[in-house]
Structure 1
Amino acid sequence: MTDASTPPPTVPEWVLAILPGLGLAVAIAAVATLVGRVVPLVGAAVPGVVLGVVLGALIKPGPRLKPGIAFASKFVLQLSVVILGIQLSLAEAAKVGLQSLPVMLGTLAICLVGAWLIGRALGVVGDLRTLIGVGTGICGASAIAATAPVIGAVSVDVAYAVSTIFLFNIAAVLVFPLIGHLLGMSQTAFGLFAGTAVNDTSSVVAAASTYGAVATNHAVVVKLVRTLMVIPIVVTLASWVPRRDASAGADGAPRRLSVARVFRLVPWFLVGFVVMAAINSTGVIPAAAHDALTAVSLFLIATALSAIGLSTDLTGFRRAGWRPLALGGLLWIVVALSSLGLQWAFGLL
């Protein structure tokens, strides 16, 4: 018998806070999934982000919806990547990662050099140029967030860079699968293309999931290996910025990176993905469960992309002006062409 003086269990406040926005993202994802079944070529991710952008522009989500939308756009997406790990073994993941290194490192180097040259030509100077370069070359908003405090970037530059990167993420989700079909790319070739040429993890997964399951698994491994490149880049910037500031006569304390902070740059969902691949390598996950878990992951991707669409700040693109957008667009084209060119050169296309 329950003690009458014992209060009934209560729902945590954070759960209540995320339910409205998360519920809206799930509802959009459900509609997007139906659209994807009617038109399999577009999948569920693309309709999800498009519906999210349109609905977000109409209703302009307020404080009641924002916590759940933020939860869906970040944690739900990361969880979907972890679940995708069951589709691979550790041996397969290592093989894909090693095979992708020449193309991945080549596109990263070309992007960073291009950001410096094109940025100077366009008059996009300083931290904004650096942020757009690392965002395009490594992992979108995550790389920008990791780099900004190290170089001391002001908030307006961060906002401009994130807005620019996001615009071309959406463009990649819509355009890259069409390019893949026009070029007759295989699933693995498109996975390498998406993993090296699309900026943010969410957009990589969205573009590849539209192309096929094999492309998705391949792209996720390539993208997660590419994400690790944020560590040497940030460490390099951390050692360069104090010298830059000193030569410029800036009065600021050097920005140091501790070992603990370097380890924190490794995203938890990358670790989770590897753990799931390791579990799958043991054979304890029955084959019958793979299809169900993959379907769950794809729905979570649609949910996350719907939330990202809802949170899109269209006015942010107008505030950024044309120069950062031009830099982001030109780098987007350069990275895409270099990815295709390097694949062809190494016999992977």
Structure 2
Amino acid sequence: MTPAHFIIPIAALLCLTPWISSGVALVMGLVIALTLGNPYILTIKNWTHKLLAISIIGLGFGMDLGVIARSGIEGLGITIISISVTLILGILLGKILKTEKDTSLLITVGTAICGGSAIAAVAPVIKAKHHEVTVSLGIVFLLNAAALFIFTWAGHALGLSEWRFGLWSALAIHDTSSVVGATLQYGPDALDTGTIVKLTRALWIIPVAMLIGLWRSFKTKEKTSGQKAKRPWFILGFILAAAFVTWFPQWKYEGHQIEMFAKRIMVLTLFLIGSGLTRETLKNVGVRPFIHGVVLWVIVATGSLLMILYGIAEPMGH
């Protein structure tokens, strides 16, 4: 038994208390994994996706269905534009840097839609190799960790309103977990907007994965992989949870309690994500793929921020 066998469970339990913020939880996981190692790595990988889904569904109990519909419609136009532009830029950047074709595509899809979830959905469709998936996930993970701190600091420095910060986070941060983590620190309106727009964006996983499969099969004249893209069912759970408290307002107090608990589960999830960054993962990340991921992310983050600052992405009423 190593010290990590005892420290990781204790740290995980601490994340369920109000004393640990999302940023602290992520860093705590990173430090433990990189210094002591993680003997629970396989168990944690299995539970991370489950806890993420549970926490997102739980957050739905604290939201209004009308607000979700309005925010989803308001962010739809910029979502379509940003996904399309990111995919084009990512493919071009991969050719310029001469990154491996499938690695480049996975990094691009992860940046365009929703990080690890999009990579996991597209990988079987294009028959990506194990090392290509590992590298892509590693880069997305590193950028997610950085975003959790950079975005909150930048949002306050620029004086962004909670709605603007929530939209920016949803458009420019890779994974839903880090969007929730960043907006959770910024304020309740930022959390609502960021979560709703990001989940609306995640719905594009399936059609994009299908189009990529068709495009790849057309180019190679082969049948697409029999494996199907994973469907983000937790989004439906989120909507149903919001619908329940909207249609039955007498349950709003209980819904709020569930939402508060879901926020703690999200903090725990961020700790588990942080503890999943091992030394092996860092070794697998090559220079060109990393440059590809960083440059594409900076372009997306800067471009979406400018659109928001100049009111291109801002609907009336904000």
Task: Give the TM-score normalised by structure 1.
Answer: 0.83
User: For residue 98 of structure 2, what is the aligned residue in structure 1?
Assistant: 123
User: For residue 59 of structure 2, what is the aligned residue in structure 1?
Assistant: 84
Given the alignment, which residue of 113, 121, 125 partners 1:138?
113
- Kindly state the Cα deviation for residue 266 of structure 1 after the two structures are TM-superposed: 3.0
Given the alignment, which residue of 317, 328, 332 partners 2:282?
317
Gaps of 5+ in 2: none
Larger radius of gyration between Structure 1 and Structure 2: 1
User: For residue 195 of structure 1, what is the aligned residue in structure 2?
Assistant: 170
Contact 1:90 / 1:277 at 8 angstroms: preserved in 2?
A: yes
**Counterpart amino acid of 2:19?**
L
DSSP 3-state at the match of 2:51: helix
The 1:68/1:159 distance shift into structure 2, 3 A limit, reads: closer
* 1:34 equivalenced with 2:19 (yes/no): yes
- Kindly state the Cα deviation for residue 114 of structure 1 after the two structures are TM-superposed: 1.3
User: For residue 250 of structure 1, what is the aligned residue in structure 2?
Assistant: none
Question: What is the distance in 2 between the residues matched to 1:72 and 1:237?
Answer: 29
Question: What is the distance in 2 between the residues matched to 1:88 and 1:336?
Answer: 27
**Counterpart amino acid of 2:175?**
D
* 1:339 equivalenced with 2:304 (yes/no): yes
The 1:29/1:72 distance shift into structure 2, 3 A limit, reads: farther
The 1:81/1:21 distance shift into structure 2, 3 A limit, reads: farther
DSSP 3-state at the match of 1:34: coil
Identity within the alignment, %: 29
- Alignment map for 1:83-122 (pairs within 5 Å): 83-122=58-97
List per-residue Cα deviations over 1:249-287 (Å, max 9, x = no partner).
xxxx511669xx46xx43121111010011011134534
* 1:57 equivalenced with 2:34 (yes/no): yes
Tell me the matched-pair count: 310
**Counterpart amino acid of 2:99?**
V
DSSP 3-state at the match of 1:87: coil
List per-residue Cα deviations over 1:94-136 (Å, max 9, x = no partner).
1101100122122212211111121111111411110000011
- Kindly state the Cα deviation for residue 24 of structure 1 after the two structures are TM-superposed: 4.2
Contact 2:82 / 2:171 at 8 angstroms: preserved in 1?
A: yes
The 1:295/1:157 distance shift into structure 2, 3 A limit, reads: same
DSSP 3-state at the match of 1:231: helix
Contact 1:86 / 1:290 at 8 angstroms: preserved in 2?
A: yes
C-alpha RMSD over aligned residues = 2.2
- Kindly state the Cα deviation for residue 295 of structure 1 after the two structures are TM-superposed: 2.1
The 1:24/1:136 distance shift into structure 2, 3 A limit, reads: farther
Question: What is the distance in 1 between the residues matched to 2:34 and 2:277?
Answer: 8
**Counterpart amino acid of 1:59?**
L
User: For residue 227 of structure 1, what is the aligned residue in structure 2?
Assistant: 202
Contact 1:279 / 1:285 at 8 angstroms: preserved in 2?
A: no
- Kindly state the Cα deviation for residue 139 of structure 1 after the two structures are TM-superposed: 1.0
* 1:48 equivalenced with 2:38 (yes/no): no
Gaps of 5+ in 1: 1-18, 36-43, 247-252
Question: What is the distance in 2 between the residues matched to 1:101 and 1:314?
Answer: 39
Contact 2:78 / 2:313 at 8 angstroms: preserved in 1?
A: no
DSSP 3-state at the match of 1:124: coil
User: For residue 261 of structure 2, what is the aligned residue in structure 1?
Assistant: 296
User: For residue 45 of structure 2, what is the aligned residue in structure 1?
Assistant: 70
